[in-house]
Structure 1
Amino acid sequence: MSRRRRWMTGACISTALVALLAYGGAPAPHEGSPGGSGPRGALAPVPAPHGASRGGSGSGIAVGAYLHYASPGVDMMQGLSRWLGGTDLRAGHTYLPGDTWANIEGEPASLDSWARWRKQRSDRLFVLNVPMLAGNEDGAPDARVAELLRAGAHGAYDGHFRRLAERLVSLGVPDTVIVLGWEMNGFNYTHRCRPDPASWKQYWRRIVGAMRSVEGQRFRFDFAPNRGPDAIAWTTCYPGDDVVDIIGMDSYDQPPGNTFAEYVDQPHGLRAQVDFARAHGKRISYPEWGLFRNGDNAEYMRDMLEWIAAHKPLYHSITDYCPHGVWQCEENPQAAQVFRELLSQHRGGRRASLPRP
């Protein structure tokens, strides 16, 4: 199907998608849409695992955005919600800095702000990306990474993660979703898997064991690789069903792959994620997604939101700053319009009437 025809088909299902993304219901399939029998059939949804709920802490898919790593991100959630006409943002997403062990232990004061936000409503999710190693963006060579992973696998860093767990429990957020060692299949982070997959997996298990040993915790651990073939197949890094609760994926419109259909069907792509999660009885998530290599890509924005609506992740969180985002990035007006169209509580208003930050 041509790009223009696919855009028109997507526009016809916008109303159904708004309800689905907000409340988790399932639209009736029709030609060209996810679950239909037409050319978009490549996006057919995968059933949820047996026994899996359709919501999160509440009903429906928890919508969120990464807006700022520190306390301003909490206040900005309100602004994004207003821009979306009052859409309820239930997933609050931030990162712990990976520069020092003190920060990985939860020292940043911004955690207090996020904890207050989470505790205001029982159906909210607090999503926290946690580095596995200090100096996580220092460009350590593979040999050094392997040494660090082996040390971690033997328990050298257990205390840091027990202290993080104690900090989160003390703040009243014992049910935090922990996105541990994200994008481990890539080339960049010190906590990458490729230099020693066996030690990486054992280290993940040590971390989860240390955090689960803290009284009162109810953490869920999200295993979130990059989409597609990267430095190593992410399945090679999977540490086991007993220490993973969610199968996540970070997905931007960038190679490998040039079309959304390729993002779906490439090795270790979007379809592989949902198939793997179904086989292992896990929910899925999209902790990071957005634009990257193709400018103001409204088609990708619509395709990704259709995929999310069809496959019902526990939560999704767009990366909202340039070049990836829509609300804080004026470089992407067409993609922003699609995002607002499909996620807005009150559709049909002019974008310009709703302020950006």
Structure 2
Amino acid sequence: MSRRSRRLVGICASTVAAGLLLLCTGGDPATPPRGASGGAASGTEVAVGAYLHYGSPGVERMQEFSRWLGGTELRAGHTYLPGDTWSNIEGAPDSLRSWARWRNARADRLFVLNVPMLEGNEAGVPDARVAELIRTGAKGGYDHHFRRLATRLVGLGVPDTVIVLGWEMNGFDYTHRCRPDPANWKAYWRRIVTAMRAVKGQRFRFDFAPNRGGDAIAWTRCYPGDDVVDVIGMDTYDQAPGRTFDEQVTQPYGLQQQVDFAKAHGKRISYPEWGLFRNGDNPEYVRRMLAWIAEHKPLYHSITDYCPHGVWQCGQNPRSSGVFRELLSTVPPGRGRPHRVDFGAGGGS
């Protein structure tokens, strides 16, 4: 799924397993209790994101999002590097300074950065050309770009950044897609990770994050190896494949397979992108997704918060917005007035 306008704000909180939810609340295991994601730092902590903007406005809107959630602590930030030119992939955007300042303001924060693997990433490059570019990368032709990025991140004081490298690689759209040459794509991923890990002072974690479902290629065919992957992510929206949330869980290469695959490989999971889509304002989807997150405790998750996907900047999903705020807010129901900033369908660039 190609989404050209990226917006972000992050929050962080901890969750509890489904069995504990039942024990503590006597409620439906598909409904996490209000505030289940709030609390002090712990080994089961979940960094929650609501993507509001890729640049400095994303940092600025985080405080507003925190107020909307009744003061829930915002401890994770998530943004994207543009994939139009190599200079941007190398970390040229000045907004990285804003994200680095935010990250370094507290020792317990998490910074997540989506990094394209090739320039012209949304340029509609044909498969044959994509295969050529991937082969060049597999031979080391682009290593220097990623060394420069790693050096910039270390220099900005964010050497522990979570790198979501080549996201949605199992899809049809991005130039960094896997299908044209899976073997060399995996070799290229390995080259990038090796190049970035060679920079002194780095402590990066690399997140392998396909689309949910089979899409253009089974994402398991693109997995580059346990030694070069730290987190098994998944981008998942309320759309086909999977008419219901249960089908999104059980479908081939769906949510359950992600969890099982990560467990088999000894990795944490994540959800870099999730949100509403084809089924409109769907509070049950939001409730079920948050319950899934509460049960499986990803390292982080980030709702895509612009129309049609979001719950804060987008005013067209009021019922879903209410569920999201109820379950993640630190304010008891009925106290405090929700504050929504509506930047329009585009999300406020």
Larger helix fraction of residues: 1
The structure-2 alpha-carbon separation of the partners of 1:107 and 1:354, relative to structure 1 and needing over 3 Å to count, comes to same
Alignment of 1:1-12 (within 5 A): none
Q: Deviations over 1:221-247 (max 9, x none)?
A: 000000011000000000000000000
User: What is the correspondence of 1:166-177 to structure 2 with a 5 Å cutoff?
Assistant: 166-177=151-162
- Provide runs of 4+ in structure 1 moved above 6 Å: 55-58
> For the Cα contact (< 8 Å) 1:25–1:60, is it kept in 2?
no
Q: Which runs of 5+ in 1 are unaligned?
A: 1-20, 36-54
Instruction: Provide the residue aligned with 1:24 in structure 2.
Output: 15
1:61: how far off? 1.0
Q: Which amino acid in the other structure matches residue 298 of structure 1?
A: P
- Please name the residue that 2:146 is paired with: 161
Q: Deviation of residue 349 (structure 1)? A: 3.3
The equivalent residue for 1:73 is 58
Per-residue CA deviation, residues 45-69 of structure 1 (Å, 9 max, x unaligned), is xxxxxxxxxx988662111221100
Q: Does 1:265 align with 2:256?
A: no
For the 8 Å contact 2:239–2:277, the answer to whether it is kept is yes
Kindly tell me the number of residue pairs found equivalent between the two proteins: 320
Q: Secondary structure at the match of 1:338?
A: helix
Q: Aligned letter for 1:204?
A: W
* Residue aligning to 2:167: 182
- 1:325 is aligned, of 293, 298, 310, to 310
Q: Contact 1:57/1:122 (CA < 8 Å) preserved in 2?
A: no
CA contact (8 A) 1:57 1:125 kept: no
Q: Shift in Å at residue 327 of structure 1?
A: 0.3
Q: Is the 8 A contact 1:91 1:317 kept in 2?
A: no
Counterpart in the other structure of 2:29: 33
Q: Which residue of 2 aligns with 1:215?
A: 200
Partner residue of 1:286?
Answer: 271
Aligned twin of 1:49 = none
**Partner residue, 1:13:** none
Q: Give the C-alpha shift of residue 354 in structure 1.
A: 2.4
Residue aligning to 1:316: 301
Which structure 2 segments of 5+ residues have no match?
1-11, 32-39, 343-349
Task: Report how far residue 347 of structure 1 moved.
Answer: 2.4
Quote the Cα distance in structure 1 between the aligned partners of 2:341 and 2:171: 33
Aligned to 1:354: 339
Per mean C-alpha deviation after superposition, the further-off stretch among 293-302 and 97-106 is: 293-302
- The equivalent of 2:327 in structure 1 is 342
Are the equivalent residues in 2 in contact too, given 1:56–1:314 (CA < 8 A)?
A: no
Give me the TM-score of the superposition, normalised by structure 1. 0.86
Q: CA separation of 1:148/1:96 partners in 2, compared to 1, >3 Å: closer, same or farther?
A: same
Task: Please give the root-mean-square deviation of Cα atoms over the aligned residues, in Å.
Answer: 2.0
Question: Contact 1:119/1:173 (CA < 8 Å) preserved in 2?
Answer: yes
